[in-house]
């Protein structure tokens, strides 16, 4: 094996460089994988564009520590295993027995195991919150090889699972966690705002809950067509229809029971507060480029809403892997574009534009 690999290295906002770097080696409890592919997340794009959540706002230090290799939606095959792998902490939810050649997926966060949240079993809220691709010791999948640290949560995946499915494990697990937080019931009218990769993952997961009516919102008609194919009863393009009138007609003037925000655009938050019923459940999933303002009186005195945030993919990898592999979670057509790493600028542009694309990925 060569000592060098191709990688996309982050040095700063808008400063990403295609370089040759040293291939990592496995220490105690660590694993090296040969990366098959890595999806581009909205968070990756917002980091590239200089979002303050990653680079700081002058008050807080930057979350992103450079130089770093981005990417947290990756899968690959094990090529090296360090000593004492059987003693690795996994919180009891990830596979522990690995061998060279196994095909694996890894959760995006590498929990510390010692903070309050980890001790309480809420590892996805780990206080250090170290996520692959955003820390210079936790390099991600925008490279030919990646090191999975001893803290990582690693799962075997079927060798015959198509790469287009495998690349959706991480985002779909996040989508499933959002749907779990919504506590959807059979009589609910559910609105999912955003029909990109994550929104489609939410739609196919929510369809399994069999709500009375499942509605998708998006400004992209091609994505709305996919939303119908994935199980929506109704789709709405708010730029072409009066969304509030549609929802009020469907709900006899009350509003939807559940609103899941998955666009990352401030207008989607305001829109949700307008169309959700009193005592409804508002699920905020997105990562925003900048802080969002809204009328908080609607949340309290106006409607007494249940507001639920969603972070990462708590406990959802096993069921997501099973659901994708069985076809129960629909995935056809979600991975629309595959790029070589050297074409990262075109890949980011395609991913950010949304024109004719849903999930864009690097493949090796």
CATH code, domain carrying 354: 3.90.180.10
- Least confident segment among 66-70, 80-84, 126-130, 144-148: 80-84
- Domain assignment of residue 324, yes or no: no
Helix (H, G, I), strand (E, B) or coil at 34: strand
Q: Which residues contact 312 (CB under 8 A, 6 or more apart)?
A: 107, 108, 109, 124, 131, 174, 177
CATH of the domain at 234: 3.40.50.720
CB-neighbour burial class of residue 229 (10 A; exposed 0-12, middle 13-18, buried 19+) = middle
Of 107, 272, 303, which Cα lies nearest the Cα of 194? 272
The boundaries of the domain holding residue 299 are 175-309
Q: Please state whether the peptide bond connecting residue 56 to the residue before it is cis, i.e. omega within 30 degrees of 0.
A: no
Q: Is residue 314, in this structure, part of any structural domain at all? A: no
93 assigned to some structural domain: yes
Cα–chain center distance at 317: 12
Report pLDDT digits (tens) over 78-104.
999 998 776 555 554 456 689 999 999
Mean pLDDT of 349-359: 89
Q: Looking at the structure, tell me whether residues 205 and 222 fall in a common domain.
A: yes
Number of domains the chain contains: 2
Interval 140-183: pLDDT, tens: 999 999 999 999 999 999 999 999 999 999 999 999 999 999 99
Are residues 31 and 145 both part of a single domain? yes
The answer to the question of residue 243 being in a domain is yes
My answer on whether 9 and 155 are in the same domain is: yes
In a domain, 319, yes or no: no
Assess whether 250 and 229 both reside in one domain: yes
Q: Are residues 134 and 222 in the same domain?
A: no
Residues 285-326 have pLDDT tens digits of: 998 877 888 899 999 999 999 999 999 999 999 999 999 999
Looking at the structure, do residues 143 and 62 belong to the same domain, yes or no?
yes
- Same-domain check for residues 109 and 192: no
47 and 135 both lie in a single domain: yes
What Å distances lie between residue 28 and 85, 92, 104, 113, 319, CA to CA? 7, 19, 19, 17, 29
Residue at 315 is within a domain:
no
- Examine the domain organization and report whether 22 and 99 are in the same domain: yes
């Amino acid at each position: 094996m060569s000592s060098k690999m191709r990688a996309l290295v982050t040095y700063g906002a808008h400063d990403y460089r295609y370089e040759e770097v040293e291939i990592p080696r496995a220490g105690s409890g660590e694993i090296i994988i040969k990366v098959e592919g890595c999806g581009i997340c909205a968070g990756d794009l917002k980091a590239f564009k200089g979002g303050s959540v990653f680079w700081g706002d002058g008050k807080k230090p930057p979350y992103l520590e450079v130089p770093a290799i981005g990417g947290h939606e990756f899968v690959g095959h094990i090529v090296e295993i360090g000593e004492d792998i059987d003693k690795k902490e996994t919180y009891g939810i990830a596979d522990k027995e690995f061998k060279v050649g196994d095909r694996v997926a890894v959760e995006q966060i590498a929990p510390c195991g010692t903070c309050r949240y980890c001790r309480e079993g809420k590892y996805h809220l780990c206080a250090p919150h170290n996520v692959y691709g955003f820390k210079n010791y936790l390099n991600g999948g925008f490279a030919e090889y990646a090191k999975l640290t001893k803290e990582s949560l690693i799962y075997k995946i079927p060798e015959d699972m198509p790469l287009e499915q495998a690349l959706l494990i991480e985002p779909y697990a996040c989508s499933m966690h959002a749907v779990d937080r919504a506590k959807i019931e059979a009589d609910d009218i559910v609105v999912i705002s955003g029909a990109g990769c994550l929104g489609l993952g939410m739609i196919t997961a929510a369809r399994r809950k069999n709500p009375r009516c499942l509605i998708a919102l998006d400004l992209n008609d091609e994505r709305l067509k996919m939303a119908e194919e994935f199980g929506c009863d109704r789709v709405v393009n708010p730029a072409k229809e009066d969304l509030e009138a549609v929802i009020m007609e469907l709900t006899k003037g009350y509003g939807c029971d559940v609103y899941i925000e998955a666009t990352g655009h401030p207008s989607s938050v305001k829109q949700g507060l307008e169309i959700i019923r009193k005592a409804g459940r508002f699920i905020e999933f997105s990562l925003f480029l900048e802080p969002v303002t809204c009328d908080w009186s609607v949340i309290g005195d106006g409607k007494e809403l249940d507001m639920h945030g969603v972070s990462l993919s708590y406990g959802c990898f096993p069921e997501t892997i099973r659901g994708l592999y069985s076809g129960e979670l629909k995935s056809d057509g979600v991975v629309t574009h595959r790029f070589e790493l050297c074409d990262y600028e075109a890949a980011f542009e395609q991913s950010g534009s949304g024109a004719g694309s849903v999930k864009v990925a690097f493949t090796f």
